[in-house]
Amino acid sequence: MVFMQSLTLESATEKSVVWPRLLPRLHVKAFTGGVIVLVFIVIGIIGPSIAPFDPNKQELTAMMKPPAGIGASHSLGTDNLGRDILSRIIHGSRVSLLVAFAVVFVSGFIGIALGAISGYFGGKVDFLIQKLVEVIWAFPPLLLGITIMAFLGQGLFNLILALVVQRWIPYCRVVRGQTLSLRNRDFVTAAQCLGASNRQIITRHIIPNLIQTSLVIGTFAMASSIIAEASLSFLGVGVPPEIPTWGTMLADARIYISTAWWLPLFPGLCIFVTVLGINLLGDALRDLLDPRLKRTGAKI
């Protein structure tokens, strides 16, 4: 718990020591990651207006066209139904990122709230929440998602739900640990003496101290959500096939691997580059906020 404690309050002093040494490498990481993520977010937002074609429009005269190059009409080629790959990728980025953001925010909200409650109150509440954490954590990742999706059926909302079920756990665990030490700090005691309610203490004094670490967990949760969404869609239990996402595009491409290389290449490349960007950003953020996590190689 000692390191958790220092993580929040000493980070201000740590920063001045760490900055000069890490600056160049951090800059490269943060910059590259930031640019990649920003580009995909912008594409996701303005996507529909820059996509050259309707992503679901089937053009039977232009089926399976190989990539024509920049500037041509189907620059990344078309699929087995004559749909434009570039347009589908652009629309797909919107859905993929939307799912990932939703998962990160909802699971962050649940995880931080339950973690703070668990750590602050302790006792029976803590015991129950930690048992829940233990049970969910006992499932191999992805397997729970597959099982839930098979039960709920395909759909965006269901998918977000299935991913959230496991992704609030890391937040909850780390936040609980931090809250346990924050609870006994002087500023909490002071607030209690001044008559603040438990709710006020948690929302005003505890949670603001947890934001930095949660941000780091959030970036890694985002990366894993994108991959998980694609994996589930690829297996046919994620996003419904009529919505273009990178995962459903890969699922469609599976049977044409040997005949049309461009079908699996581009959507997969998008997943890879986006996740790489988020991981770079997460790494940089973690190095900046807590050099200790980097040194111990802790995987969140």
Q: Which residues contact 132 (CB under 8 A, 6 or more apart)?
A: none
String of b and e for 167-193 (b: at least 16 CB within 10 Å)?
A: bbbbbbbbbbbbbbbbbebeebeebee
Here's the x/- map for another protein, 32-71, by CB under 8 A: it reads as ----------------------------------------
Compute the distance between CA of residue 172 and CA of residue 117 in angstroms, rounded to an integer. Answer: 10
Query: Which residue in the set 50, 128, 143, 255 belongs to the binding site for another protein (CB under 8 A)?
Result: 143
Is 261 a residue that touches another protein (CB under 8 A)? yes
- Closer of 216 and 280 to another protein (Cβ): 280
Three-state DSSP class for residue 14: helix
φ, ψ (nearest 5 deg) of residue 232: -65, -45
Output DSSP code: residue 203: I
Least separation in angstroms between CB 159 and another protein: 15
Query: Which residue in the set 178, 245, 248, 279 belongs to the binding site for another protein (CB under 8 A)?
Result: 279
Least separation in angstroms between CB 19 and another protein: 17
Q: Phi/psi zone of residue 64: left (φ > 0), alpha (ψ -120 to 50 degrees), beta? A: left
Is 19 a residue that touches another protein (CB under 8 A)? no
Give the binding range for another protein (CB under 8 A) out of 5-13, 94-102, 114-122, 276-284: 276-284
Query: Which residue in the set 43, 172, 223, 284 belongs to the binding site for another protein (CB under 8 A)?
Result: 223
The count of chain residues that interact with another protein, using the rule CB under 8 A, is 45
Compute the distance between CA of residue 164 and CA of residue 230 in angstroms, rounded to an integer. Answer: 15
Is 283 a residue that touches another protein (CB under 8 A)? yes
Q: Is the distance from CB of 293 to CB of 286 less than 8 angstroms?
A: yes
- Closer of 213 and 274 to another protein (Cβ): 274
φ, ψ (nearest 5 deg) of residue 84: -75, 125
Binding residues (CB under 8 A) for another protein: these are 25, 131, 134-135, 138-143, 146-148, 150-151, 153, 223, 227, 230-231, 234-237, 250, 253-254, 257-258, 261, 264-265, 268, 271-272, 275-276, 279-280, 283, 294-297, 299
